Each structure stands twice: as C-alpha cells, then as structure tokens.
A and B are shown apart, each in its own frame.
Chain A
C-alpha cells in the first residue's frame, strides 16, 4: 500500500518535473537564439506607452537599436520605426543648422520613406514634426 502511494507520488512529481524540463529546454533554446535582437515584449510595450504619452524623445531612445541594424519581430517593428522617425527628425535639425544640404536631403528621404511605409501612423508623424518644431529654441 505504502509502495503504491510512494510510486504514484513519484510519478506525479516526475510528470511535473518533465513539464518543467520541457519548458526550461524551450526557454534555453530561445535564449540561445543568435538573433541580434530581441525586441523583447517589455521594450515594445514601453515604446507603445511612450508613443501614446507623446514622449517621442524617450521612444526615439528606446528604438535606437533598430538604427544599429538590430532585427525586430514583425509586429513590433512599426513602433521602432516611429521611434526612428523621431530620432532622425531630431538629428536632421543639426544638419539644417550646419547647412549640410546633401545630408538634410538624405534624412528627408528617409523620413519620407518611413511615412510611406507606415501611412496609418501619419497623425503620429505629424505630431513628432510639430514637437521638433516646438522644441527648437533659437
């Protein structure tokens, strides 16, 4: 009787451990995935929050990895691109001030291509443009 109880308990424990092992192995394999980026859900969630709060500068900083060539998971890439738009808009003003017309043209093309790529976010892009204009203190 006791043996049966012990045996059944062990089976139950082993099933739980087996499930835990499978989850751990899947987690370990995912962790070792050699993709450069992990648009981890936490960063993407933060990015969305800051864009909603109109904190475009913070979003630009969070999205910076994409400018370094990191790959972002499909469903989150749009938010990163909006952040990239904010950063490029910010940096473009430096070239405008420097009078580097060629570079300004390159940045404007990039900004235009981001707008073309994400037409559904036109309103946010407009707000970013406005925030850049409003932030110029000269």
Chain B
C-alpha cells in the first residue's frame, strides 16, 4: 500500500507514514478490526485454556483407566497362559538338568518302580519325544499304560470296609478298559518293543500287570489268558464278581 501524500510504501498496521509522517486514516479501520480480532483471539485462547485445565483431570483419569485396563488384560493373559509358560520353562529346565535326572530315572527303572518313573517324567515335564530323552519315549508310553492299570485296580481294590458301598460299575469299567488298553498297546508295539533299548523293562511291566491281575483280581496265568480272550461282557461279568461281589 502506498501513502497518499508521499507515495511511500506503508503497511496496514502503520499509524503514521514512516516517510512523510502523515497520520494514516485509511488504516484506522483495519487496525481497529485487528485489535478486535486479537482481543477475541485472546479470549478464545483463555476459554480454551480454561476448558483444557478443567478437563485435564478427566483426561488423566481416562488415561490411567486405559493403562489399568491394559495391565489387567496382560495379567489375565499371563494367568490364562501360565500353564504353557510353566510347562515350557520346565521342559527347558529338564533338558538342562539331564545329567542330574538321568541317574534318578535309572533308579526308578532298576527298582521296577514304573509308576514312580511315569510320575517323575510327568512332574518334571520331560519331553520324551525330544532329545535327549527320546530313547525313553516308548518306555514312557508303556509306563503310562501300566500306571493306568495300577490306578484302576488300586481304586477298585484298595478300599476300607466303609468304602465298599461306593464301589460301582465305574470301577469295573475302568479296570477292564485299563487292562485292555495296556495289552492292546503292548501287542500293537511288540515289534518296536523288541528293538527298544528298554525292552526288558517293558516286558517286566507286562509281567507285573499279570501279577497284579493274579494278586488283586484272582486270575492265574490260564485264567488271565481266558479273560483276555473273552468278550467284553464276559470280562465285565468276571470283574463285577471280583470287585463288586455280584
């Protein structure tokens, strides 16, 4: 913009011409508008600042709430997955402690304590499908089957006088199933057992199952053969008579 008096370059905010000193009436309106806008701007800023400061505690509370919710979510996830975390950690630890566990495992096996062996493998989360324990895989599978037989016969036979009233066909069923499952696994895996490093222990397990059936279910070798060759109904009838006295 140029001064009407001297033609010098003036700005919209100049009150007088910087070249001739003439008061600039033509910029009065602009300056008053600008002052008005500046005041309004200041007011708006003040209003915004006030609103922001009034809402700040709420905003902070909401942020805290979000952090708490995320924290709870993470904790709940850890709780839900803790079993897997723990299992993985134990599996890793069992690998690291192989040298320490090896003689303990041998003690169980030398004593013929296959239920203890299975419990040890389970307690320490030893992965027998993976190195360095993979040579125990078949033995562990059979020890689990053997443990099922021990468990079911124990449950059916090891009862006080008071507890006999609680015995039912469930015990008969679980005994029959455990025995059947053991022999089925044993026969199905016979070829692998023959080649297994722990063959003698697995064969010993089979002999023990026979002894358990003889001692606690009253079957000698001949009766056991007949029992195993019998039908499901015949097997259950036999076990009902022995366990429930029916």
B4 to chain A, nearest CB (A): 56
A100 contacts which chain B residues (CB < 8 A)? 112
Q: How many residues of A contact B (CB 8 A)?
A: 55
B24 at the interface (CB under 8 A from A): no
A102 to chain B, nearest CB (A): 10
Query: Using an 8 Å CB-CB cutoff, how does the interface string of B97-115 with A read, 1 for contact, 0 for none?
Result: 0000000100000011101
B76 at the interface (CB under 8 A from A): yes
A67 contacts B78, C-beta separation under 8 Å? no
Residues of chain A in range 13-36 having any CB-CB distance to chain B below 8 Å: 13-14, 17-18, 20-21, 24-25, 27-28, 31-32, 34, 36
User: A79 vs B222: C-alpha distance in the bound complex, in angstroms?
Assistant: 39
B65 contacts A138, C-beta separation under 8 Å? no
B154 contacts A68, C-beta separation under 8 Å? no
B154 contacts A54, C-beta separation under 8 Å? no
User: A11 vs B68: C-alpha distance in the bound complex, in angstroms?
Assistant: 12
Query: Using an 8 Å CB-CB cutoff, how does the interface string of A39-73 with B read, 1 for contact, 0 for none?
Result: 00000000000000111111011001101111000
Q: Footprint of B on A, CB under 8 Å?
A: 3, 6-7, 10-11, 13-14, 17-18, 20-21, 24-25, 27-28, 31-32, 34, 36-37, 53-58, 60-61, 64-65, 67-70, 86-87, 90-91, 93-95, 97-98, 100, 103, 106, 127-128, 130-132, 135-138
